[in-house]
């Protein structure tokens, strides 16, 4: 074999790139890109309607604090929906875990961390209870969690003896209302918040580059280089602008750190772990997953254990923010979490959905609610608008399937 032939064989293949036209690239994957476009449009719309008040440092901080528990629930709900299930009980689980924590910390004077650990333990037990009925008995998740919604709400009233408990000690309250600031100084802003945001942008860029290199190595289709760079720059600008506003308010919210850790952990699990791939396989084609050797019962069981765990975290966050526990806490939280998942691109039939999409979906609902509150929109009209947003999101999913030839 000649030297020229050897040289030719060793030449790396040119990367397979998608269209360099941004409009074409967006329309090729409307399900994923549509939610980001909608989010940007809604943010800009309310910025104009409120004369910039919606983008003020104080309001952005308030959005993070006010809707963090919904985003935590949306992570678990996304996994449940991807597997082809639904969970109607998470609002009641939030109430019960918060009630257990309050009864121990406020009612019995236990240390604040004992209340948190007890809440997490209760969430895991609830998840195991529901997972057993769904995975091993074979009762549909809709029925099991509907029963759970009633059961756990009743237990909440029992634990609290039909009264509210407050206040929590200061340490417990910092979980949802505390901030980290002043660690690196700054004149009129918190430098530490900007430093953390910059690290996040660098980490995102490195991850994107490594993913692109891996796809090129295996001759998979990648974005055209200009679009690839544009995406990284756009994310960097948005993240740093968001951090700049937080830095000019009260610094880095502790609950945002908790949320970021959960997002990173669960994004990795759903994308790179065996468990994550099995969840997508079960939701995409149950029969094929079973024939492939997936232990469907075990996966379904742990899906609901995980949902109970995340609902407990949301319960701690919500009780910390409200500085107490109420029998009616968590009402309609399951609807907010379900809406976030579907608006974020999860498919009604399962098998499709990403953690980051659910986060954007939850933030979209949060920004709409916050913007309407700033504009003093009537509460009844707010519910109508949020209902229409959910309906349009699901209709958009159906449109994408028909467009792709799926019936």
Decide if 279 contacts 79 (C-beta within 8 A).
yes
Residue 303, Cβ neighbours under 10 Å: how many?
A: 26
Whether residues 246 and 257 share a domain: the answer is no
Whether residues 314 and 301 share a domain: the answer is yes
Cα–Cα dist 169/387, whole Å: 37
Cα–Cα dist 313/132, whole Å: 21
User: Does any domain span residue 37?
Assistant: no
User: Does any domain span residue 49?
Assistant: no
User: Does any domain span residue 315?
Assistant: yes
User: Does any domain span residue 36?
Assistant: no
Residue 110, Cβ neighbours under 10 Å: how many?
A: 15
Whether residues 375 and 258 share a domain: the answer is yes
Whether residues 367 and 348 share a domain: the answer is yes
Count up the domains in the chain and report the number: 2
User: Does any domain span residue 62?
Assistant: yes
Indicate the pTM of the whole model: 0.88
| Count of residues making up the chain | 407
- The torsion angles phi and psi of 162, rounded to 5 degrees, stand at 65, 15
Whether residues 278 and 328 share a domain: the answer is yes
User: Does any domain span residue 34?
Assistant: no
User: Does any domain span residue 146?
Assistant: yes
Whether residues 334 and 221 share a domain: the answer is no
Whether residues 238 and 366 share a domain: the answer is no
Whether residues 168 and 306 share a domain: the answer is yes
Decide if 107 contacts 165 (C-beta within 8 A).
yes
Residues of the chain with pLDDT below 70 are: 1-33, 185-188, 397, 400-401, 403-407
Cα–Cα dist 100/346, whole Å: 32
Q: Where are the beta strands (DSSP E) in 175-289?
A: 179-180, 221-222, 252-253
Cα–Cα dist 123/90, whole Å: 10
Nearest to 282 by CA among 70, 85, 2: 85
Residue 142: give the domain boundaries: 55-178+253-389
Q: Give the residue carrying structure tokens 């309050």.
A: 102
Q: Which of 224, 250, 276 is the last residue of a domain?
A: 250
Domain CATH code at residue 137: 1.10.3470
Whether residues 268 and 295 share a domain: the answer is yes
Q: What percent of the chain is helix, strand and coil (3-state, nearest 5)?
A: 75, 0, 25
Inter-axis angle of helices 90-102 and 57-82, nearest 10? 120
Whether residues 277 and 316 share a domain: the answer is yes
Whether residues 361 and 244 share a domain: the answer is no
User: Does any domain span residue 44?
Assistant: no
Q: Which of 225, 250, 275 is the last residue of a domain?
A: 250
Whether residues 212 and 149 share a domain: the answer is no
Any residues with CB less than 8 A from the CB of 376 and at least 6 apart, and which? none
């Amino acid at each position: 074999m000649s030297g020229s032939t050897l040289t030719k064989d060793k030449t790396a293949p040119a990367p397979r790139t998608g269209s360099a036209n941004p409009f074409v690239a967006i329309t090729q994957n409307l399900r994923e890109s549509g939610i980001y476009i909608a989010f940007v449009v809604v943010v800009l719309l309310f910025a104009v309607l409120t004369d910039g008040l919606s983008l003020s440092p104080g309001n952005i901080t308030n959005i993070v604090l006010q809707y963090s528990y919904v985003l935590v629930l949306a992570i678990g709900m996304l996994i449940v929906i991807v597997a082809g299930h639904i969970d109607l009980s998470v609002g009641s689980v939030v109430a019960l875990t918060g009630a257990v924590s309050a009864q121990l910390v406020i009612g019995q004077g236990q240390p604040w961390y004992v209340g948190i650990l007890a809440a997490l333990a209760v969430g895991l037990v609830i998840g195991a209870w529901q997972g057993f009925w769904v995975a091993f008995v074979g009762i549909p998740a809709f029925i099991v969690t509907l029963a759970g919604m009633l059961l756990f709400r009743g237990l909440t009233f029992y634990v609290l003896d039909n009264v509210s408990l407050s206040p929590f000690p200061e340490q417990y309250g910092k979980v949802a209302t505390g901030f980290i600031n002043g660690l690196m100084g700054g004149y009129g802003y918190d430098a530490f918040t900007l430093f953390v945001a910059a690290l996040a942008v660098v980490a995102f860029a490195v991850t994107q580059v490594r993913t692109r290199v891996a796809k090129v190595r295996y001759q998979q289709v990648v974005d055209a280089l200009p679009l690839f760079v544009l995406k990284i720059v756009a994310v960097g600008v948005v993240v740093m602008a968001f951090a700049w506003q937080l830095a000019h308010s009260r610094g880095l919210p502790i609950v945002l750190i908790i949320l970021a850790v959960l997002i990173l952990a669960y994004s990795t699990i759903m994308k790179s772990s065996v468990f994550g791939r099995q969840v997508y396989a079960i939701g995409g084609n149950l029969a094929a997953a079973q024939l492939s050797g997936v232990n469907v019962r075990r996966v379904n069981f742990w899906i609901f254990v995980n949902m109970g765990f995340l609902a407990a975290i949301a319960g701690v966050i919500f009780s910390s923010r409200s500085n107490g526990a109420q029998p009616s806490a968590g009402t309609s939280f399951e609807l907010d979490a379900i809406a976030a998942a579907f608006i974020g691109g999860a498919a009604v039939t399962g098998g499709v959905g990403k953690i980051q999409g659910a986060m954007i979906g939850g933030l979209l609902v949060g920004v709409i609610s916050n913007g309407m509150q700033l504009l003093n929109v009537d509460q009844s009209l707010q519910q109508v608008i949020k209902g229409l947003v959910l309906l349009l999101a699901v209709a958009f999913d159906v449109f994408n399937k028909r467009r792709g030839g799926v019936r």
